[in-house]
């Protein structure tokens, strides 16, 4: 950290004294807490050393690698950040009075008259050093395919987290708290040209890094975690060879979703849906998967729009062959999305298009029952909820919700006595209505 000047001397130069903590409070407590977390992480890594670095990269290994990225990487980058300030001060002839390093924070105290431009460079240099280090770590992790998968995850995730901290989190903290490096970097009164140039470069860097993260780094992390690069490459090649064939895109999205990467699944489907000339049943199937993914993520408006796109691809929402399963499932997801947005009337109108067996799906019955109750149809609503109770086995979550709604209450929280206190749930999970 380097702090903006607070006093100008008679010659117009600034004497810099860097305050380490903006509030005047000691950071010892923060360093101790972080240090304990760091030691705990290192202990776990040593305890599971063989399992962490072997070829079988399990969920537990990924969790420990992520923990290392959060607690092991930052102290290294912070040290390099502070060394960047130190070396930049020496470069411009500054006199370093003190160097403080505390795992996740630090300060370099500089005295002797420096021009505003020189101090701008001292303040910027630490952040450049920290950003470059984080970016280098991420690049090594992304490209060095021969490294253990745990190490690659630590380097990629830890590096990108540090880049985000150096370029986003720390600037926001510094500027809002009126302390630290970015007060000097963006001192438009003292260094208008340099500050403007920095702002432009800052914005361009964020845009480029965000695009790199979304287009490349997340996919590399997916391969590191799941070792499915061959399957992804095969499906992407099939999508490129036949853009109007939606089957490879759907399969790739399902592959991502099944492994917890809902963001990549969503983007894959959106890219496939944007192909010009896509219509008919292939397009409708793609939009149905879009709607189902959106329902799983509780993005009900997106699910509604995707279902409408699917019906439109088949020629419109009205006049379709009601017995067609694809059409039925699109109407079902349209109704589920509308009901989830508290639009009971339109949801019931969508459910009116359904025929067996879709209309008998317990998720449809449950949602239609709630919509009927909301519209004042108590008999119809309770009949649907009783049907869910009859369909689903004892202990089933959807049955619990139906029974609770019939009694006018919320379901009881799950029995989490086997979980630690911090992981125990205080209310029931939401009713599982997605996936029709």
Is the previous residue joined to 65 through a cis bond, with omega within 30 degrees of 0? no
At 106 the pLDDT is: 82
In a domain, 73, yes or no: yes
At 316 the pLDDT is: 66
Strands (E), 76-169: 95-101, 106-111
In a domain, 219, yes or no: yes
**pLDDT means over runs of 10, the chain (436 residues):** 36 35 54 91 94 92 95 94 91 84 82 83 93 96 94 96 94 86 90 94 96 93 93 94 93 93 93 91 94 94 96 72 80 96 95 93 95 95 94 91 91 76 75 84
In a domain, 3, yes or no: no
In a domain, 190, yes or no: yes
The most distant pair of C-alpha atoms in the chain lies apart, rounded to whole Å, by: 88
In a domain, 331, yes or no: no
At 17 the pLDDT is: 38
Cross-strand bridge partners of residue 110 = 96
How many domains is the chain built from? 1
In a domain, 147, yes or no: yes
In a domain, 67, yes or no: yes
> Which of 269, 272, 241 shows the shortest CA–CA distance to 254?
269
At 108 the pLDDT is: 84
The range of the structural domain enclosing residue 60 comes to: 28-226
Q: Residue 203 to residues 162, 187, 200, 432: CA-CA distances in angstroms?
A: 17, 17, 5, 42
Q: Give percent helix, percent strand, percent coil of the chain, each to the nearest 5.
A: 65, 5, 30
> Which of 263, 357, 347 shows the shortest CA–CA distance to 307?
347
The residue assigned the tokens 């911090």 is 422
Question: For the chain, give me the number of helices (H) and strands (E)?
Answer: 20, 2
347: which residues sit within 8 A by CB, 6+ positions away? 335, 336, 338, 339, 367, 368, 371
In a domain, 253, yes or no: no
> Which of 311, 238, 240 shows the shortest CA–CA distance to 281?
311
Cross-strand bridge partners of residue 38 = none
The answer to whether 311 and 334 have CB atoms below 8 angstroms apart is: yes
At 5 the pLDDT is: 37
At 61 the pLDDT is: 94
Distance CA 190, CA 193 (A): 9
> Which of 163, 166, 184, 147 shows the shortest CA–CA distance to 57?
147
């Amino acid at each position: 950290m380097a702090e903006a000047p607070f006093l100008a001397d008679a010659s117009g130069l600034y004497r810099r004294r860097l305050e380490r903590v903006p509030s005047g409070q000691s950071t010892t407590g923060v360093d101790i807490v972080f240090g304990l977390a760091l030691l705990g992480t290192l202990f776990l890594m040593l305890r599971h050393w063989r399992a962490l670095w072997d070829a079988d990269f399990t969920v537990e290994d990924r969790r420990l690698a992520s923990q290392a990225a959060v607690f092991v990487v930052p102290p290294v980058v912070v040290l390099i950040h502070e060394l960047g300030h130190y070396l930049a001060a020496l470069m411009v002839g500054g006199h370093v009075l003190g160097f403080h390093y505390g795992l996740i924070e630090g300060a370099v105290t500089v005295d002797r008259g420096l021009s505003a431009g020189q101090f701008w460079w001292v303040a910027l240099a630490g952040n450049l050093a920290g950003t470059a280090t984080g970016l280098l770590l991420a690049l090594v992790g992304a490209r060095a395919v021969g490294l253990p998968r745990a190490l690659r995850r630590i380097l990629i995730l830890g590096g990108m987290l540090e880049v985000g901290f150096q370029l986003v989190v720390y600037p926001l903290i510094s500027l809002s708290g009126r302390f630290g490096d970015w007060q000097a970097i963006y001192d438009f009164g003292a260094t208008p040209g340099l500050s403007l140039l920095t702002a432009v470069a800052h914005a361009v860097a964020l845009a480029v890094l965000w695009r790199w993260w979304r287009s490349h780094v997340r996919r590399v992390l997916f391969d590191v975690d799941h070792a499915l690069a061959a399957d992804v490459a095969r499906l992407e090649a099939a999508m490129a060879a036949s853009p109007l064939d939606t089957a490879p895109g759907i399969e790739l999205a399902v592959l991502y979703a099944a492994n917890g990467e809902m963001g990549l699944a969503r983007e894959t489907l959106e890219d496939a849906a944007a192909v010009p000339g896509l219509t008919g049943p292939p397009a409708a199937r793609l939009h149905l998967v879009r709607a189902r993914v959106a329902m799983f993520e509780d993005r009900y408006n997106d699910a509604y729009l995707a279902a409408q796109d699917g019906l439109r691809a088949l020629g419109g929402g009205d006049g379709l062959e009601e017995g067609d399963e694809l059409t039925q499932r699109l109407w079902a997801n349209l109704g589920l999305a509308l009901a989830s947005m508290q639009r009971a009337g339109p949801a019931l109108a969508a459910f009116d298009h359904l025929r067996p067996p879709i209309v008998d799906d317990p998720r449809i019955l449950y949602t239609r029952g709630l919509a009927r109750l909301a519209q004042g149809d108590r008999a119809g609503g309770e009949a649907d909820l009783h049907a869910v109770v009859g369909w689903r086995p004892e202990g089933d979550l959807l049955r619990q919700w139906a029974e609770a709604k019939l009694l006018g209450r919320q379901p009881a929280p799950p029995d989490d006595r086997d979980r630690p206190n911090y992981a125990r749930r205080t209310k029931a999970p939401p009713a599982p209505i997605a996936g029709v």
